[in-house]
């Protein structure tokens, strides 16, 4: 029954969107034709900006893509057009369908991996179908500690978002975004970002939403949360509906050098965050926490009860990651 309810809750926003379209927000035939033509161009240039060999070609494709996207969004009621065939670009609708956020990565340097920047925009739903857009300016390359400040759309910490959930506190909506950043030739990053809107209905990124006061060694709160890890390693950072919490893979260095982020891989354990009184409260050991309710089994972590590394398990986990990378390369 619980899973059925969750499926219904996931479908409801889509039904609202369809209902809104049917109730006077339908895209006209002439505008639909324009949007389809724009989508064909966007599909082509999104492929180029993700696959072109040379950085100058990717930058050119990104420029044309951005201009074409803006022209498409200017079409009346474009909010309801999903651009489904445009691959490599994230297009997430808010669970309450009040806006959508469009984001993508642009990779610079040889082999697409030297460093990256993100592009993005928030498109608001409007009653008359006109465009209300907030372009996002990524400034993450200019800050050493991007987790420590509240941001506007003009100094956004960029990520390509793959998931959005909504939480509420004191009748205000908060939208938690989960994002990916290719980052560099050696490491990738994942971000958790809380988006809200101020009294002027302008986007605000971050706030003291991530708290660690329940940890054995409490730490100051963070305005956003990120992890950096070895390139091409599969790392979980997501909201788990059945558990009603965020799970984050705990990382350990393959070479016993945790200061080198490109050596970090999952150790089989998870930490997490639970929404409590308008904050994402950190849980250092998720499965220990959950066993209190008898809900999940114990995992097989790479550390013993005294925190000492199990070298055999560490080596096995490293080999598993190498095998996954090899399979990915062969595919």
Task: Write the DSSP string, 171-196.
Answer: TEEEEEEEEEE--BSSEEEEEEEEEE
Pick 13 or 271 by higher pLDDT.
271
pLDDT level of residue 131 (50, 70, 90 thresholds): very high
Same domain, 90 and 175: yes
Average pLDDT, the chain: 84
Assess whether 217 and 290 both reside in one domain: yes
Together in a domain, 232 and 278? yes
Cα(132)–Cα(147) distance, integer angstroms: 28
User: Alpha-carbon distance 20 to 27, whole Å?
Assistant: 11
Q: Smallest Cα–Cα separation from 186: which of 109, 108, 260, 266? A: 260
Domain membership of residue 258 as a residue range: 208-331
Which residues are CB-neighbours of 96 under 8 A, at least 6 positions away?
13, 16, 166, 173
Average pLDDT over residues 189-211: 97
Which residue's entry shows tokens 């956020």? 101
- 4 in a domain, yes or no? no
End-of-domain residue from the set 155, 182, 207: 207
3-state helix, strand, coil in the chain (%, to 5): 30, 35, 35
In terms of Cβ atoms closer than 10 Å to its own Cβ (0-12, 13-18, 19+), residue 237 is buried
Average pLDDT over residues 140-150: 85
Q: What is the mean predicted confidence (pLDDT) over 118-127? A: 97
Residues 6+ apart with CB under 8 A from 43: 85, 86, 87
> Of 177, 207, 237, which closes a domain?
207
Q: Tell me, yes or no, whether 310 lies in a domain.
A: yes
- Name the token pair of 280: 């994402």
Most confident range, picked from 9-18, 49-58, 141-150, 183-192: 183-192
Percent share of the chain, pLDDT over 70:
78
Same domain flag for 180 and 324: no
Judge whether 7 lies within some domain.
no
Both 118 and 232 in one domain: the answer is no
Mean pLDDT of 261-282: 96
Confidence of residue 308 (pLDDT cuts 50, 70, 90): very low
Identify the bridge partners of residue 164 per DSSP, sorted by sequence position. Answer: 177
Q: Are residues 99 and 222 in the same domain?
A: no
Inside any domain, residue 91: yes
Q: Are residues 166 and 71 in the same domain?
A: yes
Distance CA(49)–CA(60), nearest Å, equals 8
Same domain, 164 and 219: no
State both tokens at 288: 């220990």
pLDDT bin (cut points 50, 70, 90) of residue 227 is: very high
SS3 of 274, please? strand
**pLDDT on residue 226:** 96
Confidence check: pLDDT of 242 > 60: yes
Mean pLDDT of 316-321: 56
pLDDT of residue 26: 84
Residues 50 and 152 in one domain: yes
Asked whether the predicted pLDDT for residue 318 surpasses 80, the reply is no
Q: Do 72 and 189 fall within a single domain?
A: yes
**pLDDT confidence of 111, banded at 50, 70, 90?**
low
76: in domain: yes
Last residue of a domain, one of 207, 224, 258: 207
Q: Are residues 200 and 212 in the same domain?
A: no
Q: Stretch 237-242: mean pLDDT, rounded?
A: 96
Judge whether 190 lies within some domain.
yes
Which conformational region is residue 39 in: left (phi greater than 0), alpha (psi within -120 to 50 degrees), or beta?
Answer: alpha
Task: Report the first-to-last Cα separation within the chain, whole angstroms.
Answer: 39
Residue 47 pLDDT > 60? yes
Which pair of tokens denotes residue 91? 């297009």
Instruction: Assess whether pLDDT exceeds 50 at residue 43.
Output: yes
- Give the chain's length: 331
Count the domains in the chain: 2
Q: Are residues 200 and 85 in the same domain?
A: yes
Domain assignment present for 5: no
Q: What's the pTM?
A: 0.80
CA 85 – CA 44 distance, rounded (Å): 10
Whether 113 has a pLDDT exceeding 90, the answer reads: no
Which among 138-147, 203-212, 213-222, 288-297 has the top mean pLDDT?
203-212
């Amino acid at each position: 029954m619980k899973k059925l309810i969750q499926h219904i809750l996931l479908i409801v926003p889509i039904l609202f969107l369809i209902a809104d379209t049917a109730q006077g927000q339908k895209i006209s035939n002439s505008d639909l034709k324009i949007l389809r033509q724009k989508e064909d161009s966007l599909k082509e240039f999104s492929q180029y900006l993700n696959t072109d060999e040379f950085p100058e070609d990717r930058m050119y494709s990104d420029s044309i893509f951005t201009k074409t996207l803006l022209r498409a969004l200017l079409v009346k009621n474009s909010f309801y057009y999903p651009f489904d065939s445009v691959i490599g670009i994230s297009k997430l609708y808010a669970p309450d369908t009040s806006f959508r956020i469009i984001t993508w990565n642009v990779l610079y340097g040889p082999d697409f991996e030297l460093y990256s920047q993100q592009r993005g925009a928030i498109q608001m739903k409007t009653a008359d179908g006109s465009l209300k857009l907030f372009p996002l300016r990524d400034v993450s390359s200019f800050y050493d500690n991007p987790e420590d400040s509240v941001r506007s759309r003009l100094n956004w910490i960029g990520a390509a978002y793959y998931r959005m959930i909504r939480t509420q506190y004191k009748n205000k909506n908060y939208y938690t975004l989960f994002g990916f950043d290719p980052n560099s030739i050696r490491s990738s990053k994942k971000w958790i970002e809380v988006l809200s809107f101020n009294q002027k209905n302008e986007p605000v990124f971050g706030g003291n939403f991530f708290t660690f006061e329940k940890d054995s060694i409490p730490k100051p709160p963070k305005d956003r949360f990120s992890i950096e890890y070895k390139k091409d390693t599969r790392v979980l950072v997501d909201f788990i509906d059945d558990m009603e919490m965020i799970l984050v893979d705990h990382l350990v260095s393959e070479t016993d050098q945790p200061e080198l982020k490109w050596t970090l891989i999952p150790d089989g354990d998870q930490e997490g965050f639970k929404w409590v009184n308008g904050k994402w409260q950190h849980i250092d050991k998720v499965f220990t926490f959950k066993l209190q309710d008898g809900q999940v089994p114990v995992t097989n972590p790479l550390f013993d009860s005294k925190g000492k590394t199990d070298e055999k398990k560490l080596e096995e986990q490293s080999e598993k990651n190498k095998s996954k990378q090899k399979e990915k390369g062969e595919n």
